Structure 1
Amino acid sequence: MSELKKENYHISGMHCRSCEILVEDHLSQIAGVKKVNVNYKKGVAEVYYDQKPQHSEIEQAIRNSGYSVGVGKKRPLISSNFMTYYELLFAGGVLVVVLMWLKILGITNLNFQFSSAPSFLVVGLIGLAAGVSTCMALLGGLVLGISSRHAELHPEATASQKFKPHLFFNFGRLASHAVLGGAIGSLGSILKFSPSMLGFLIISAGIIMFILGLKMTEVFPRLSGGGFMLPKSISRLFGLNHEVKEYSHKGATITGALTFFLPCGFTQAMQVYAISTGSFSQGAIIMFLFALGTMPGLLGIGGLTSVVKGAFARYFFKFVALALLILSVWNISNGYNLTGITFAGSNNGESKQELSGNIINGEQVVEITQSGSGYNPRKITVKKDTPVKLLVNATNLYVCTAAFVIPKFQIFTQFREGINEIKFTPTETGPIKFSCAMGMYTGVINVIN
């Protein structure tokens, strides 16, 4: 067998590994072509053949893939396009108005007050609230960023093509919440992450949002070619190379399924409720109904990104970019709170600080009240090397703050109604963070000599 010959072709317009797979598949169909390697970063296709194809065949195959033959221009580091900054300024003004109205209407702080376990109907309503609040901030930010980026890069795709991945994403989410909800219902909290691990997961999600947001601002054109992608071999193995313009249905389903392990505060409360049932069927129903309740909010994002087009689309994507940057910083901050990492400064004047609570039988007893709006007090002072007993009066069990975390001591507990005891002994001076399980509502324990 004669040795294969190779020819290189320059291609412009590629921006990801899906582009590589698409071009490779089209070029591989040409008679005489035995192997194709495409590198979107270099903009080059290596074509191996035993019978040289016509240049017109190569050019037609590349055009059929949605790209063009030739060397693309090197993009500038910072955009000099005036319209980019004008659109960002306009979108920023709209975002400020939207945030003000959300604050006025109280949509950013939806809480449910229960003194007993909620019914299945109420579980669905809690999911509905989560879908437009905490879940929207975490999962919605990721979905919004990825789907908007896809719609921006593929304006030629139809609305149904852009929307289908959201259906598969939510299908995967429903399936995983039902199956894993049943698992934790029957086996207990075996799928729980440590506070630090959950913190780093949320930070990772925030970083992804931040990068997506920066790309969509179009202020830094060179960023538009990068991204987080699976190797082509893995993509092909799982069949993720099909339906490129719609994203992969398998990929969207898997991504949705994995959201069970990246829960917001409402989700964690429902997971604990599922655990408390001690039943596979009850746990599965609870988590399924909760995920079902979040669907309107998450699908609403899909609907928006699927139908926007024309001049309005540019302003919409700039609005999304700024929203993602805000959400990314917020999530990174929350994740940081969960890691327990602190940068302690000097304790000047610590002798003037009064100890919180009272000393009873050699223990520092401090009372804290938990509610849907956080913890009170948020700052307490205790003495080094003296056992501490926190008496937390839990007043709302189905909100983010019902899951209490002190990362320094690896304390991760779900409150029960009434007084909850938490004990630890601080052995070092300085600040110790405590927070809800999402890192949103925080407080500080200041340890002094």
Structure 2
Amino acid sequence: MPQIVIFDVDGMTCRSCEQVIGDALREIPGVIEVEVSLKQQRAAIRFKDAAAEPACDAVNERLKAHGYVVFPRGERPTGCSVGGGRDPLKARLGRAIAVLGIAVAVLLVASPLRGIVPSIGAGASIGAMFGLGVIASLSSCLASTGGFMLAASARDPSRRRTILMHIGRLAMFALGGVVLGASGSGIPSISSSWYGVFALVLGIGFLMVGLQLLDLAPPLSRLGIALPSRLHRVGDRVAESRGAFAPLLIGAVTFILPCGFTQTAQALALASGSATSGLLMLIAFSLGTLPVLLGISWFGTAATLRHRMVRLLAGAVLVLFAFGQIEGGLTILGSPVTAATIVAPFRSKDVSAAIPDGEEQVIRMTVAYGTFQPKNLNVRSGIPVRWDIDGQDVSGCASSIVVPSYGIKKELIKGLNVIRFTPTQIGTIPFSCGMGMIRGTITVL
């Protein structure tokens, strides 16, 4: 007579976890059906009869490589040798470290060192996209892409097959970057305000996922959507393929697997509006995911990467990304309160004062290598300003500059660019590149 056993599951963070766990449990002899629920954090297993029901430890052995732990419904994981409940003292200590890390991130964004805080946008730097890929490989993408690659490698663990899978993945991301970037060039230009909203939404999303990785918030991905079961079956068939080109195809399929970070990278490539930029952005992102995914494929386990300290590190870095992103969004939208405006009164150096020139005052700035030099400028109230901008490198985000407080948005050209305005109110005026990734201030005295 069929027997149904329900286990609580520890370690699920996204919809793809349901698929990974379900596939692993269906390989247990005697299993007829498996239902996994992210929302309830449970797995229901239907066996042919009571004799086929395995012990809790046997189920955990099946999930060990994927980093999940099951335990009898309603019981703490101490009943299973693989798992174990978290020490309350260690949990509190971890949260305290997480809160301290967030405080450091806030102070860093609000300090003169904020220039090193990464921000993602259309035309994002290669380094920022690489960093986003690293974070992605340590978070929700580990369940979807990592689980898929692990399953494919388990069927044929040869190094040649593994290398070909990752070559296929990199090639598909390169091709996808070209197609998305080229497609984005045909999208009509949108106002900087929309870029600001996009940056804010992206930053808030990063923050929520980062807090989840720091165990300070429930998994945001419970609200996510899963690929249709039909596509999962297609993925399974691809993973089981044995043809000469099968490994390349397996790697290519990861381009469409569900991962919020992957979709974010793809959206940014589209927004770049350039085939070249899209290519470089998605190659950098995929290279960022490569070390972790390659390690999973070769060593056959994702459990180590689910270690609490690894997740805390990924969460802390992601929170840093989030604050940089939110700061950029607020700057583009012309918010009177940003980290830059808060610290402006305390800034005593790294400021360039205006030079009198007849009836005008002149401030000079250079745009080069993704920076504003200098990025903090002082002017006098009531005197017309001539802002000379030397455009040495005006690609990507740095191809335009916005000053929301004065309604200024100027496309930059290589060479001299001139902006004129008259400051009328004492205070700090934030400005940025078109997507808010590069920021500066004009202090009106």
State the alpha-carbon separation in 2 of the partners of residues 312 and 231 from structure 1.
23
CA contact (8 A) 1:434 1:443 kept: yes
Would you say 1:368 and 2:365 are equivalent positions?
yes
State the alpha-carbon separation in 2 of the partners of residues 291 and 211 from structure 1.
25
Q: Deviations over 1:142-194 (max 9, x none)?
A: 33444557799999854779999977765664344322332344566469873
Would you say 1:10 and 2:18 are equivalent positions?
no
Among candidates 321, 328, 340, match of residue 319 of structure 2? 328
Among candidates 133, 143, 159, match of residue 137 of structure 2? 143
Matches within 5 A, 1:42-53: 42-44=40-42
Q: Percent identity?
A: 17
State the alpha-carbon separation in 1 of the partners of residues 35 and 302 from structure 2.
37
Give the drift of 1:77: 7.4
Matches within 5 A, 1:21-100: 38-44=36-42, 54-56=49-51, 63=59, 66=63, 70-71=72-73, 72-73=75-76, 75-76=85-86, 78=88, 80=90
Counterparts in 2 of 1:20 and 1:260: CA distance versus 1, 3 Å:
closer
Matches within 5 A, 1:323-402: 324-340=315-331, 341=335, 342=337, 356-358=354-356, 364-372=361-369, 374-383=371-380, 388-398=385-395, 401-402=398-399
State the alpha-carbon separation in 2 of the partners of residues 37 and 286 from structure 1.
42
Would you say 1:228 and 2:204 are equivalent positions?
no
Counterparts in 2 of 1:167 and 1:322: CA distance versus 1, 3 Å:
same
Which residue number in structure 1 is paired with residue 106 of structure 2?
none
Which residue number in structure 2 is paired with residue 261 of structure 1?
267
State the alpha-carbon separation in 1 of the partners of residues 165 and 358 from structure 2.
59
Give the drift of 1:139: 3.9
Equivalent position SS for 2:179: helix
Matches within 5 A, 1:273-288: 274=274, 284=275, 287-288=278-279
Which residue number in structure 2 is paired with residue 134 of structure 1?
128
Counterparts in 2 of 1:210 and 1:379: CA distance versus 1, 3 Å:
same
Q: Deviations over 1:290-326 (max 9, x none)?
A: 6457654553453245446789947998457425513
Would you say 1:251 and 2:247 are equivalent positions?
no
Give the drift of 1:445: 1.3
Among candidates 424, 430, 433, match of residue 430 of structure 2? 433
State the alpha-carbon separation in 1 of the partners of residues 407 and 163 from structure 2.
41
Letter in 2 for 1:177: G
State the alpha-carbon separation in 1 of the partners of residues 174 and 50 from structure 2.
49
Moved more, 391-400 or 192-201: 192-201
Letter in 1 for 2:76: K
Which residue number in structure 2 is paired with residue 280 of structure 1?
none
Letter in 2 for 1:261: A
State the alpha-carbon separation in 2 of the partners of residues 316 and 21 from structure 1.
21
State the alpha-carbon separation in 2 of the partners of residues 435 and 413 from structure 1.
11
Counterparts in 2 of 1:231 and 1:313: CA distance versus 1, 3 Å:
closer
CA contact (8 A) 1:203 1:331 kept: yes
Letter in 1 for 2:231: G
Give the drift of 1:446: 1.6
Counterparts in 2 of 1:214 and 1:293: CA distance versus 1, 3 Å:
closer
State the alpha-carbon separation in 1 of the partners of residues 165 and 177 from structure 2.
18
CA contact (8 A) 1:23 1:38 kept: yes
Q: Deviations over 1:268-294 (max 9, x none)?
A: 8xx46x4xxxxxxxxx46644664576
State the alpha-carbon separation in 2 of the partners of residues 205 and 290 from structure 1.
20
Matches within 5 A, 1:151-300: 158=153, 170=170, 173-186=173-186, 189=189, 194-204=194-204, 206-207=206-207, 210-211=210-211, 213-214=213-214, 226-229=219-222, 234-236=226-228, 239-240=231-232, 249=254, 250-252=256-258, 256=262, 258-262=264-268, 271=272, 274=274, 284=275, 287-288=278-279, 291-292=282-283, 295-300=286-291
Give the drift of 1:393: 0.8
Say how many residue pairs are matched: 370
Which ranges in structure 1 are unaligned for 5 or more consecutive residues? 1-6, 93-107, 110-126, 275-283
State the alpha-carbon separation in 1 of the partners of residues 203 and 391 from structure 2.
28
CA contact (8 A) 1:364 1:386 kept: yes
CA contact (8 A) 2:144 2:258 kept: no
State the alpha-carbon separation in 2 of the partners of residues 345 and 290 from structure 1.
33
Would you say 1:443 and 2:440 are equivalent positions?
yes
CA contact (8 A) 1:194 1:412 kept: no
Would you say 1:416 and 2:413 are equivalent positions?
yes
Counterparts in 2 of 1:23 and 1:203: CA distance versus 1, 3 Å:
closer
Counterparts in 2 of 1:186 and 1:138: CA distance versus 1, 3 Å:
same
Give the drift of 1:135: 1.9
RMSD: 5.8
Instruction: Give me the TM-score of the superposition, normalised by structure 1.
Output: 0.58
State the alpha-carbon separation in 2 of the partners of residues 315 and 9 from structure 1.
26
CA contact (8 A) 2:130 2:284 kept: no
Give the drift of 1:207: 1.7
Give the drift of 1:200: 1.3
Instruction: Give me the TM-score of the superposition, normalised by structure 2.
Output: 0.58
State the alpha-carbon separation in 2 of the partners of residues 394 and 186 from structure 1.
26
CA contact (8 A) 1:198 1:335 kept: no
Counterparts in 2 of 1:295 and 1:443: CA distance versus 1, 3 Å:
same
Which residue number in structure 1 is paired with residue 245 of structure 2?
none
Which ranges in structure 2 are unaligned for 5 or more consecutive residues? 64-68, 78-84, 102-115, 118-122, 240-249
Letter in 2 for 1:180: L
Counterparts in 2 of 1:170 and 1:311: CA distance versus 1, 3 Å:
closer
CA contact (8 A) 1:167 1:299 kept: no
Give the drift of 1:418: 0.7
